[in-house]
């Protein structure tokens, strides 16, 4: 028994399923998780001492790579000043200023502790601002585990084949309307019936929780126009895409300005964080300035704020187009390698993200994503791990490439596929 296996057996005695987030258990790919002892740059090291090229990158936050020296230095300095104040600190102001300067849809921002908390708070604000209750979300999009968002949530819910939303009263999701991602006509049909009841449309501007599924041309603009026409708010969930698709997020890349934006992951530089922001008129409703209550003991935590400031300072100077070109070359190499094995594969790619779907058909929504061969993906996962490449233990996630990944590491990823038999 390996050390990871021994630790997992022990963890199952004390932690539900042995993990603190379900997909980590690796049940969908038929194996047990690795326990990690350290991470640096584009790699992680298991407790056995084995080094893996990491294409998970903590599920997205580590765009600079693991253990960036300047981010680490900022966190160490913050630790020396105290780990939590329960009071304002200068770095939370600095990070808020940087987010507002970067994202055209954000004039004010409130820090919270997770993407789930941010999405939940943004929905509450949207409902208060519009005086309406219904929200449109898209099948396969994941906005955290708040009750209202667990209908057809993609990500871990899809990975584990959990039916419905156990523990969530039907009344809680009665106001959640579901539409297929990239299907503007279906969204229009919902507005035709519920126009005066819809508070908001929430969307991942590029879906990352059914695997990577980019928006079709006109989809985001269509959502923007529908919301404007009917007095609903457009919420971009940029927990994954924020500062990854571009320094200014998906809203900069696509030129679509949402009313509210949900953030997380990268803005904390690897520490727990979330945020939601938007137009000043809307955000001014948040207490104590307004009447919509939301609070958190650890919101604006000085360690997360210091890491976030250091991370965004570095990303502001980073060459995003160069990284995107490297990922494009990586995906071409993967496609050629899979073609050499005679496997039907569709690879979706956007900026520094990509997903390998084992299907010959285009993937444009959750329904088409679910047509991919998940058993083949499980074999692919096992094969890649045996070749020293760490990928997501779920067919419904995106691979992440960082600025720290070397050309040699990316070449090794392609080489690992050559021996995959499918």
Pick the catalytic residue from 134, 137, 265, 279: 265
C-alpha distance across the termini of the chain, in Å? 27
Pick the catalytic residue from 183, 237, 259, 365: 237
Write the CB contacts of 39 (distance below 8 Å, at least 6 apart in sequence): 45, 54, 62, 66, 67
CB 90 within 8 A of CB 163: no
> How many other β-carbons are positioned within 10 Å of the β-carbon of residue 279?
18
265 an active-site residue?
yes
d(CA 13, CA 190): 46
380 an active-site residue?
no
134 an active-site residue?
no
Pick the catalytic residue from 52, 91, 137, 142: 142
d(CA 398, CA 379): 17
CB 37 within 8 A of CB 46: yes
How many residues are given for the chain? 422
d(CA 14, CA 37): 20
- The residues annotated as belonging to the active site are 142, 237, 265
């Amino acid at each position: 028994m390996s050390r990871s296996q021994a630790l997992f057996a022990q963890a199952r005695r004390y932690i539900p399923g042995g993990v603190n987030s379900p997909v980590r258990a690796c049940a969908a790919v038929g194996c047990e998780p690795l326990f990690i002892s350290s991470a640096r740059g584009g790699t992680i090291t298991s407790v056995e001492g084995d080094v893996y090229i990491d294409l998970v990158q903590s599920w997205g936050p580590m765009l600079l790579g693991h253990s960036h020296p300047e981010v680490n230095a900022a966190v160490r300095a913050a630790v020396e000043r105290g780990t939590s104040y329960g009071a304002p600190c200068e770095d939370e102001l600095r990070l808020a200023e940087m987010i507002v300067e970067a994202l055209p849809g954000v004039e004010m921002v409130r820090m919270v502790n997770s993407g789930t908390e941010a999405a939940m708070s943004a929905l509450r604000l949207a409902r208060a601002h519009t005086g309406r209750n219904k929200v449109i979300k898209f099948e396969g999009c994941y906005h955290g585990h708040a009750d209202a968002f667990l209908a057809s949530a993609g990500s871990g819910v899809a990975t584990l084949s959990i039916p419905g939303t156990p523990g969530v009263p039907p009344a809680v999701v009665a106001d959640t309307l579901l539409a297929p991602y990239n299907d503007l006509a279906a969204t229009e049909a919902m507005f035709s019936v519920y126009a005066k009841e819809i508070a908001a449309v929430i969307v991942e501007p590029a879906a990352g929780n059914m695997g990577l599924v980019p928006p079709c041309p006109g989809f985001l603009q269509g959502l923007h126009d529908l919301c404007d026409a009917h007095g609903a708010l457009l919420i971009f969930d940029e927990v994954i895409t924020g500062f990854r698709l571009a320094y200014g997020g998906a809203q900069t890349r696509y030129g679509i300005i949402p009313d509210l934006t949900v953030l997380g992951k990268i803005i904390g530089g690897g520490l727990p964080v979330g945020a939601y922001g938007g137009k000043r008129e809307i955000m001014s409703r948040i207490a104590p300035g307004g009447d919509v209550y939301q609070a958190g003991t650890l919101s604006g935590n000085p360690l997360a704020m210091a890491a976030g400031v250091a991370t965004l300072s570095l990303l502001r100077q980073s060459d995003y187009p160069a990284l995107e070109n490297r990922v494009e070359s990586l995906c071409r190499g993967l496609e050629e390698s899979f073609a050499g094995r005679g496997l039907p594969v569709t690879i979706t790619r956007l900026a520094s993200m990509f997903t390998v779907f084992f299907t010959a058909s285009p993937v444009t929504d959750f329904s088409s994503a679910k047509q991919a061969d998940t058993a083949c993906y499980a074999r692919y996962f096992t094969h890649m791990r045996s070749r020293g490449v760490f990928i997501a233990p779920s067919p419904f996630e995106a691979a992440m490439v960082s600025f720290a990944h070397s050309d040699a590491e990316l070449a090794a990823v392609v080489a690992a596929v050559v021996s995959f038999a499918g």
